[in-house]
Amino acid sequence: MKILISPVLILVFMMLLGFNDYNSKSETEKKEVLLLATQNFNDLIKINRTFKILSDSSYIFTELVKEENHSKSETFQGLVKIDNDTIKFSPFLLDFNISETAVLKNGFIEFIDGEYPERMKFEITKLNVNNNLDTQKFPNYAIFTFYKKFNKQEWQKEYSNYDLNNQELLKIDQIFKKEFSNNKRLETFDKYLKQIVAVRNNKNEILIQAHFFCKNTSLLESYQYYESMMNDGGNCNVYAELNLTTGKFNYFNIAGLA
C-alpha cells in the first residue's frame, strides 16, 4: 500500500523545522556571555581553543587543532556553578582535561585540578576575578601559580604558592634587569620572554623561580600558557632563582655554560 503525503504537508513540516531551529538559535543568542577565554597559538602546530560561560550557567568549550597531516575539531558542553572567582564543573567534569575546578586570576582562567596544568586568557569577563597583578604593565612576562598537584618533586614538598603584587613584580623586574645588564654573556633584557613562579619555603622566604627564553616563533604565544622546558640553548635559555626576602640569587644558570 502506497502512502501519499501532500506536498503542502511536507512544506509545512519543513517550515516548522526551520522555525524551531530559528527559535533555538534565538534563545542561544539571548544568553549573556559572562566569560570568554581563548588560547590561540601557531607555534609548531596551530591551536585555537575557546571557553565560554553563558548566563544560564552553561558552558561551551571548543578546540581546533591543525597539524601538517592531521586536524581535529571538538566541542565540550555542560554546566558550571559560579562562586565568586571559582568555577565548578557540575554535575560532570570538563572532559577536555578532566577538571572539576577553575579559578579566575590575573587575566586568566586556570584549570587547577585536571590531568595537566592548563590556562586560557580572558577576552571578556563579567565575573569576579582575583587580580593581584596588572599584567598589561609587564609585557613579555607570564606569571604562573604553583599548584601542589602538578609539582610533586621531593624538593618541592616544602613549597607553597605565593601571589605576587605589582610592587613586588616591579622590584623583581628591576633586579633582573640589573643582573642582565651586568652579565656580558647575555642578550639585552628586553629580548627575553620571562616565566615566573613565586613560592614560599619553610623558612617563610619568598623564592622567585624564573626562566628566560629568547623570543622566537616557537614560544611567542605559547609561553604565556605553559611553563617551557629547554635542555640547551646557551644564553637563550637562562634559569634563575631569586630569594626575594634577602634580595640575593640562589642560582643563576646559563644553559651550556659551567
Position 91 scores a pLDDT of: 95
Contact status, residue 106 vs residue 132, Cβ threshold 8 Å: yes
Which residues does 116 contact at the CB level (< 8 Å), separation at least 6?
Answer: 97, 150
Output the furthest CA–CA distance in the chain (Å, rounded): 94
Nearest-10 Cα torsion for 144, 119, 148, 155: -50
Q: Which three cell numbers stand for residue 53?
A: 560561560
> What is the three-class DSSP state of 9?
helix
Which residues does 225 contact at the CB level (< 8 Å), separation at least 6?
Answer: 39, 41, 118, 119, 120, 121, 142
Q: Is the peptide bond before 117 cis (omega within 30 degrees of 0)?
A: no
Position 68 scores a pLDDT of: 84
Q: How many CB atoms lie within 10 A of CB 32?
A: 9
Position 29 scores a pLDDT of: 65
User: Digits of tens for pLDDT over the chain (258 positions)?
Assistant: 555 555 555 444 444 555 455 455 555 568 999 999 999 988 778 999 999 999 999 999 999 999 888 899 999 999 999 999 999 999 999 999 999 999 999 999 999 999 999 999 999 999 999 888 988 899 999 999 999 999 989 989 999 999 999 999 999 999 999 999 999 999 999 999 999 999 999 999 999 999 999 998 878 888 999 998 877 788 999 999 999 999 999 999 998 654
pTM of the model: 0.85
Class (C level, CATH) for 33-131:
mainly beta
